[in-house]
Structure formats: structure tokens, C-alpha cells
Chains A and B, each alone.
Chain A
Amino acid sequence: MNTTSVTDAGATALDIEAIRAEFPVLDQQVRGRQLVYLDNAATTQKPRQVVEEIARYYYEDNANVHRGVHTLSQRATKSFDAVRRKVREFVNAADEREIIFVRGATEAINLVAQSYGRSFIGAGDEIVISEMEHHSDIVPWQMVCEQTGATLRTIPFNDRGELRLDVLAGMLSERTKLVACVHVSNALGTINPIKEIAAMAHAHGAVMLVDGAQAAPHLRIDVQDLGCDFYTISSHKMYGPTGIGALYGRRELLEKMPPYQGGGDMIASVTFEKTEYNVLPYKFEAGTPNIEGVIAFGAAIDFFERIGIERIAAHEADLLAYATEKISQIPGVTIIGRAANKASVLSFVLEGVHAHDIGTILDFDGIAIRAGHHCAQPVMQCYGIAATARASFAIYNTRQEVDALVAALAKVKEVFG
């Protein structure tokens, strides 16, 4: 594969070939063809420094954190705690105690739903979510509605895949207690105007949760600028390991929320009569945490910061524009999601061919894409389709890989004549 260089104002050229060399998994043949990995919205590949950090932790420092007085425990604790600072900086939270480690964005949303939702939302109240949410930002709220008697309302989107803020404006009232919205849609690629939505929610006294799982790998995240109350990120979508993520919560809200789970690390003192809960963030981190995950997540953030989000975003924007142009030209293709503001995701359908058949045929050429409903069935229902094929881009992808995708799609059309 040839080297692709991208330059943007103030940034030095990116050597994509050198970046690819940091991802050993990319260097392989699938069905006799060079692997083209375009399923990054499902999970990204991991650079060597992330994989090696997991091994380094186990070979050198493995011990439980926040407990031991011995050297290994202190080393593990130091590495672990350093990542909380990195995540705070990464999302620009005001206070390190506002960062809670969780299994991923799904657990982060469930934590807010069960702790904040069940305590501060009641019968007659309303929870507003968008119609482009991932199932992980739909089902936890349906559960809260069942538990509390609150009502779930949804913000529709137009045929380009942009949220109807005019409809939202008419929906908000003093009954609205929480608005939850995805920052970047995993099925459509739409970047939602979170700052505006958060301001609208706050004007009616509601709190705002943002599912940032798909946004953090592509955009500069600033929770203070966005004005949201909760923000979720997932390590494995941004070059880190699976099973770890973070919840940002505004301190004032986290302080008044009850614990989500009980156990070790989340207590200050325990007797059979009364348990005093620990301070933030530990109140929400019961049990031995995913120490290797947190430490390797830190390595992923280091990788990210080394390359720079602006350069990553510029490279991916170039790939998305190039792929959109090329794939739009294929007769019979309809691109699903044509928002003015998009990131990294290209969803499409091909007339007369089901997405699964596209996925299987592309795999014969070593090309990995996602085919299906993307855990966003309401989005599919809005467009009256069962599934889409989705190519999603990361820092290591190239225009040549887009060309390979386009060529393979021609083969799909050939098979289905």
C-alpha cells in the first residue's frame, strides 16, 4: 500500500504508512487478499503500545490497587490513577473526581439511568432521547420508565439524518427531566449539535446525557464547552482495549446520586448497622476494577495525543469525502445519512442486494465492513430498511483501501447481476 500524506493548517504531514506499522493486525492476508479493515465503528484495531502496555503491567506491576502498602500495589495504583487524569484532560472535565471508570459506554448509561434516573425521575416525568440512538441509549431509559412511571419521548430526524430541533423545542417542558442524545450516530455518522441541545434541555431544567462512544475517536471532546451533565466514552472505539470506558458526570450531580453497585472500594466504613460510602469517584467503582484495561486505555490516549485529534479528524474527513464521492457514483447505491456534519461513517444500501450478502462478498476480497442494523433498529425503521452496509474509517485507513472497497462493490453487482 502506498504512503498517504495529509497536511492541514499548522500540522505536519501524517505518515500513514508509519502509523499502519504500529498496528500489527493490519499486516495480514484474509482469503488470500490484503486485509482492508473498515469496521472501525464496531471496534478499532489496537496499536502496539496499547497491546504491550497490557503485557508490561502483568509482567512488572500486577497487584490490586488502592489497597496494598507494598511496592507493586503502589506502582499499579500510580499507573491506574494517572489514567484518570489523562481521561479528565481528554474530555476537559473540571475535576478528576468527575471521571468514573466503567466497562464501556453501555455501562456508563446504565449507571446514570439506574442511579440518577431512579432517584430523580418519577411518575409523570418525561425522558427525551433521539430516534438515532444506539440500543444502549434506548433500553436503559425504557427500563427507568417502567420502574418509575416516567414517559419516553423521541426526537425525530429528517431524511438527511439530522435531528429535528424544531420538534424537540415543542417537546420540552417542565416535565422533561433528562435528555439523552448520541454525539455521533454509529449508523448514520451524523454529528449532532450537542451544545445547542444541552442549552435547550437546561432551559427547561432537564439534565443532558451525551453518548460519546462514536465521537471520542473523531472529535475534540470538551464537556465543559458542550455544557452536558454526563458524557460517555468507550476505550475500544478509540484504539484501546475492550471492557473499559469512562463516564464523565458533573460533580454536583454525582455527589447527590446513590451508588450504582455495592462492594469493596466504594465504601468509607462498613458495619452491619450502617455503611458510609466512599467519596467520588470511588463511590461508583465497586470491586477490583479492570486495572489492565484502565492502564492500557491510558496508553491508547497517549497514542491519540501523540498523533493529535485535529490530524486524525482531518485524515478521516478526507477519507469520508473521498469514499462518499466514489460510492455515490455506483449505480443503485443509496447513501443512508447525508447530514451536513458527519464523521467517519458511511452507511449505504445497494438496490436488490441485502447488506449481509454485500458483507460476505466483500470478505472474499479481504474487506471487513459491518452489515446489519447496527444496534439501531429504530433508525432502520425510519428509513424503511432492514439493514445497511457500513464502512467506517480510522487513522490507519487509506484512499487505496476505499478504492478496494469500490472495486469489490462492482463485484457484488456482478454476482447479483
Chain B
Amino acid sequence: MSSGARPVGSVEIAVPPVPEYLQMVRAIVGAAAALDDRLQAGRVADVRLVVSEAVANALRAQEAAHVADPILVRCDLRGDRIVVEVADHGPGFDPSAVPDLPEVETPERLRHESGLGVSLMHQLADSAVLDSGPDGTVVKLTFIVGDA
């Protein structure tokens, strides 16, 4: 059990759309991911960061649209992979319309105080799928737990 534990199961939480809950979401999802002891500490930190980005975006979307429904966060341990889904009830957006970031050393780069979250999700998760419609956005983040 001490090496190669592959827990299978899922945790689901309904998060009130208040920023103060972000810390709790990170703690819960991070702890769930850490149950799989093949996941290194650095990778657990990645899961925490990425889920925080996704929920922060959901919070912003719902705040802008004045939606008070809870945000649903689900963390699935599937043995070979960990899948985290974040579903909000915001107005949705066009993922392809997220602007590309300008080159780092150009002064325009400093205009971008936000929009880094989606880029982080793509960099850190093995797959990040954003599915957005008028009823809300679902972000599906997959982390492969390979033995390799």
C-alpha cells in the first residue's frame, strides 16, 4: 500500500461564489490528488494552482453576471489519471477569443494583469478543455498519473 496506491473515487463540492472559499477548494482538491502517492509534491502543487485558476475564473464570471449559484468542483481519481472539473453558471465566453499574450519584453506585456490563468492551465495540466456556452463554462483538467 505504501507505494503505488491507486485510489479510485471522486470528491464533489459545491462552492459558494465567494473568493474566500478558494483556499478551501485548493486544500480539498490538493488533498484528494495527494491520495495517489505516485503524484509528486510538485505535481500536487500544480493541481492546486490550476484548480485555483479555474475556480477564480468561474468566480469572476459569476460575479460579473451577478449569479449566486454555487460553483461545482469535482475531482475524479481514475487510477491512471486525475480529472478535475469546474462548472460555473456564468454567461460563458469564447475560448478562442482569449488574446494571445504579447512577447514578454515588450511594454504591452504589462497591460496583461489577467488572462494568465488560462495559459497556466494549458501549461500545467496534461489536458485542459474549456467548454463554454450561454449556461456556463465547464473546465476539464486532466493530469496523467503515469508510472513513467
Asked if A and B are interacting partners, one says: no
Interface positions of A (Cβ within 8 A of B): none
